Amino acid sequence: MKTIGYAATSCDAPLKPFSFERREPRNNDVVIEILYCGVCHSDLHQVRNDWHGTVYPIVPGHEIVGRVIATGPDVKKFRKGDLAAIGCMVDSCQNCDQCNAGQEQYCRQENTQTYNSPDRINGQNTLGGYSKHILAREEFVLHVPETLDLSRVAPLLCAGITTYSPLRNWNVGPGKRVGVIGLGGLGHMAVKLAAGMGAEVTVISRSDKKRADAFKLGAHKYLVSADDAAMHQTANHFDVIIDTVPYQHDLNPYTPLLDIDGTLVIVGQIGPLAETSSIPMVMGRRRIAGSLIGGIAETQEMLDFCGKKNILPDCEMIRMDEINEAFVRLEKGDVHYRFVIDMSSLAKE
């Protein structure tokens, strides 16, 4: 299946137009024409080979929304013309305890990621959503609520589920007190989702400059982490803190903010952390945990929840040929709050 996209051929090469062949559709595949694709910070990491596993050429993109243009004969849940979405995974073993529990992201044999991951059947490297078409087995394709603005749905497939999953796992709802460290692409979704679940939400930031934005997004309180007196007054307060900071940082100022049995969940940084004192954990039975994305059923639950509550990311639309500029801005944190590529621009290349 011939298609076009944008690819990088090395860690220091810009993304450029790229024509390539997708594998032939299998009996259980859904074929999608991509309408919108979100730009995730992990796309930048993968293109730059920051995690030392990139196979080139790489076509990034795992926040994908489009319309079904074909289905295999065994597909039962999708028809031609349906709206559909694909997130960070396109396959898993489907047989292990984690897959059977709906936790495909933790597949014992590793899930097949939407890009830069070997296909489980033919071994070819997967290519992602910075392209005109994509296909995946039916079990990994999601329904898009028609109540949502389609142009803003794509980041829910990564930023949305990455923050929704820990909120659900730690039973966030009315009466719960949630802190969100960082107000970027992940952080602003954590605020919207936690507020939508009925929790009291506090944004924790290094300075006061995002205070107005925090309240517009649904936060109830704002805490400046550089204000020692305010941090001391907020000790023992939070049931859950979602840490969305995407680089190595010190957790020690934040763990005392947790109440007894509280949990700080890391969803931003993948890699080393600064040395952390065990004293707050031991003295308050507090926890530091991590969380990946969610399983497919939970991702569909998140989309349906957002459809009912009209929760969507704040997005800046770009053309496909603006992706390299967007990457530069992403490195600088100059985005409010997610980039989304209008894939109709690709046809005009």
Short-list 129, 120, 180, CA closest to 158: 129
Q: For 13-58, what is each residue's pLDDT tens digit?
A: 999 999 999 999 999 999 999 999 999 999 999 999 999 999 999 9
Beta bridge partners of 17: 6
Return the residue matching tokens 């679940």: 197
Across residues 222-246, what is the average pLDDT? 97
Give yes or no for a contact between 141 and 78, defined as CB atoms under 8 angstroms apart: yes
Q: Beta-carbon neighbour count of residue 140 at 10 Å?
A: 21
Q: For 281-300, what is each residue's pLDDT tens digit?
A: 999 999 999 999 999 999 99
Across residues 59-79, what is the average pLDDT? 98
Return the residue matching tokens 């770009």: 318
What would the two tokens of residue 262 be? 């509280």
- For the cut 80, the answer to whether the pLDDT of residue 169 exceeds it is yes
Q: How far is CA 52 from the centre of its chain?
A: 20
pLDDT for 347: 72
What would the two tokens of residue 31 be? 């074929």
Q: For 305-341, what is each residue's pLDDT tens digit?
A: 999 999 999 999 999 999 999 999 999 989 989 999 9
pLDDT for 137: 97
- For the cut 90, the answer to whether the pLDDT of residue 166 exceeds it is yes
Q: For 183-204, what is each residue's pLDDT tens digit?
A: 999 999 999 999 999 999 999 9
- For the cut 70, the answer to whether the pLDDT of residue 134 exceeds it is yes
Q: Which residues are CB-neighbours of 147 under 8 A, at least 6 positions away?
A: 307, 308, 310
pLDDT for 348: 59
Percent of the chain with pLDDT over 70: 99
Cα dist from 253 to 154, 247, 260, whole Å: 34, 16, 16
Cα angle vertex 206, ends 338, 234, to 5°?
Answer: 115
Mean pLDDT of the chain: 97
Residue 75's identity, in one-letter code, is: V
